[in-house]
Amino acid sequence: MSTAEAAVPHLQWSLVVPVKVLARAKTRMSTAAGPHRQALALAVATDTVAAALRCDRVRDVIVVTDDPVPAADLAALGARVVPDEPDAGLNPALVHGARRAAAGSPVGAMSADLPALRPDELSRVLAAAESAPEAFVPDALGIGTTLYTARPGVPFAPAFGGESRIAHRAKGARELLLDDIDSVRRDVDTLEDLKAAMVLGLGPRTAEVAALLPAFRSA
Name which of 166, 182, 118, 127 is nearest 149 in CA terms.
127
CA atoms within 13 A on the CB side of 204: 2
Asked if 144 and 119 touch (Cβ cutoff 8 Å), the reply is: no
- The annotation places the binding site at 145, 161, 164
pLDDT of 9: 66
Q: Is the pLDDT of residue 77 over 50?
A: yes
Give the burial string for 64-88 (b: 16+ CB within 10 Å, else e): bbebeebbebbeeeebbbbebeeee
Q: What gap in Å lies between CA 87 and CA 18, rounded to an integer?
A: 12
pLDDT of 3: 44
To the nearest whole percent, how much of the chain has pLDDT over 70? Answer: 95
Identify the CATH assignment for 10-216 out of 3.90.550.10, 3.30.70.2860, 3.40.50.920, 3.30.43.10: 3.90.550.10
Q: What gap in Å lies between CA 47 and CA 53, rounded to an integer?
A: 10
* pLDDT, tens digit (0-9, with 9 covering 90-100), for 89-140: 999 999 999 999 988 899 999 999 999 999 999 999 999 999 999 999 999 9
Q: What gap in Å lies between CA 175 and CA 195, rounded to an integer?
A: 26
pLDDT of 218: 57
- The annotation places the binding site for phosphoenolpyruvate at 145, 161, 164
Q: What gap in Å lies between CA 126 and CA 56, rounded to an integer?
A: 10
Residue 86: pLDDT band (50, 70, 90) is confident
Which residue type occupies 20?
A: K
What does pLDDT average to over the chain? 94
The residue extents of the domains of the chain are 10-216
Which residue stretches of the chain are H helix? 3-7, 30-33, 37-53, 68-77, 90-98, 119-129, 164-170, 182-185, 191-200, 204-210
pTM of the model: 0.94
* pLDDT, tens digit (0-9, with 9 covering 90-100), for 141-188: 999 999 999 999 999 999 999 999 999 999 999 999 999 999 999 999
The gap from C-alpha 63 to its chain's centroid, in whole angstroms, comes to: 10
Asked if 73 and 81 touch (Cβ cutoff 8 Å), the reply is: no
To the nearest whole percent, how much of the chain has pLDDT over 90? Answer: 90
Per residue, the 3-state secondary structure of 24-77, as one string, reads HCCHHHHHHHHHHHHHHHHHHHHHHHHHHHCCCCEEEEEEECCCHHHHHHHHHH
